[in-house]
Chains A and B, each alone.
Chain A
Amino acid sequence: MSDIRQTRKALATRILEGVGNASPSERRSAFNNSDLAEPVGTLVDKTARHAYKVTDEDVAAAKKSGLSEDQIFEIVVCAAIGQATRQYDTALAALEAATGME
């Protein structure tokens, strides 16, 4: 599975730095789950920490705040990938600590 680190990096680069409807800073904030105004902050935090708690109202509130559906799509994707990336990086660092790898 030697390609996995490169494909993951390509994914993160695309969603954060490529062309999008949400601004790069909004996408980065969603990825990091930080510095987002309400109601988008709640939608992003729920997606990152317990996505099964996201409700119709959370998404409706994001739309009502002026975001387009495409912007919400991008922001939610960034939130999900950001949280999974933090988990992966934490576990990989723990594996390297356990095996004595640098």
Chain B
Amino acid sequence: MRLAILDSGHGFGTKALFVLIRMVSRQPVLDVIKVVKYRVDFYGGPMSRVTHEAMRGPSTWSVGDRELMAAFVAKTNQSEFCIKAHSAVAQRAYGESKRVSEMLSDLDAAAIGEPLRTTLLMLGKLSRENTVDADDLRAVLAAGASPQQIEDALAVCFSFNVIGRLADAFGFSVPGPEAFETGAKYLLAHGYR
């Protein structure tokens, strides 16, 4: 990472935790965890509460749908780390019935409902152009998404427009697929807290 403090500036207890993670998982500690655990009171603590609520809080979107939104926002932002991380979580959440990589590469052909498809398109426009208007939202409502579902999706979009920016600005290392699979198992079991 571009800031040495994010690699090695943690307190003793956090460094011990990283050793434990490496021993148990036999994978490197992901850079996103290093950032969340650095000066937890400034960013990691309050941000994790936002992200956990968005990704695992009450919502009629499934966990897989929300992880797909995260991966889609990351794809729009060209954030390689987050694309791989959340594609892995979405795939594990959905199971073998859906292929997340195919959905991300061709949203029009993806076997998903219209409310989710139009919501993803709106999140993509918002992430790409930094704006949407009432007509964009009317299209999502007309496709069958409820106002609450849209608000829930915007919360997911918020979190991953933050995390993706940090991944790229701080220069997260992109490890192999095994590390993301290990991360996906953890995020499905424990969430983002």
Complex CA gap A85/B133 in Å reads 16
A3 touches B53 (CB 8 A): yes
| Separation of A85 and B132 alpha carbons in the complex (Å) | 14
Inter-chain contact A77/B147, CB cutoff 8 Å? no
CA distance A8 to B131 in the complex (A): 19
The reply to whether B154 and A91 form a contact with Cβ atoms under 8 Å apart is yes
Contact flags (1/0) for B10-33 with A, using CB distance below 8 Å? 000000000000000000000000
| Bitwise interface map of B from 22 to 63 toward A, beta carbon under 8 Å scored 1, else 0 | 000000000000000011011100110110011001110000
Q: Interface residue tally of chain B, by bracket?
A: 35 or more
Give A51 to B9 CA distance when docked, in angstroms: 23
The reply to whether A1 and B58 contact each other, CB–CB distance below 8 Å, is yes
Task: Determine chain B's interface SS by DSSP, over half rule.
Answer: helix
A52 near B79: Cβ-Cβ < 8 Å? yes
Query: Shortest distance in angstroms between A17's beta carbon and chain B's nearest beta carbon?
Result: 12
A18 to B42, CA, bound (A): 8
Known: A7-B50, A8-B158, A14-B46. A95 touches B137 (CB 8 A): yes
B79 and A81 contact, CB distance less than 8 A = no
Q: Give the complex CA separation of A85 and B23 in angstroms.
A: 38
- How many residue pairs link A and B with beta carbons under 8 A? The number is 156
**CB-based contact A98/B141 at 8 Å:** yes
Bound: A31/B147 CA distance, A: 28
Contact B147 A99 (CB under 8 A): yes
- In B140-161, the 8 Å CB interface with A consists of 141, 147-148, 150-152, 154-155, 157-159, 161
Is B98 part of the binding interface, using a Cβ–Cβ cutoff of 8 Å? no
A: number of interface residues (CB 8 Å): 47
Asked if A79 is at the interface (CB within 8 A of a chain B CB), the reply is yes
Nearest-Cβ distance from residue A102 to partner chain B, whole angstroms? 13
Report Cα–Cα, A70/B5, bound state, in Å.
8
Using A69-B3, A92-B151 as known contacts, say yes or no to A80 and B162 having CB atoms under 8 A apart.
yes
Check if B165 sits within 8 Å of A4, measured CB to CB. Answer: no
- A79: which B residues are within 8 A, CB to CB? 165, 169
With a cutoff of 8 Å between Cβ atoms, the chain B residues found around residue A47 in the complex are 165, 168-169
Of B46, B167, B169, the residue contacting A10 (CB under 8 A) is B46
Closest 3 CB pairs of A and B: A80-B165, A51-B168, A84-B161
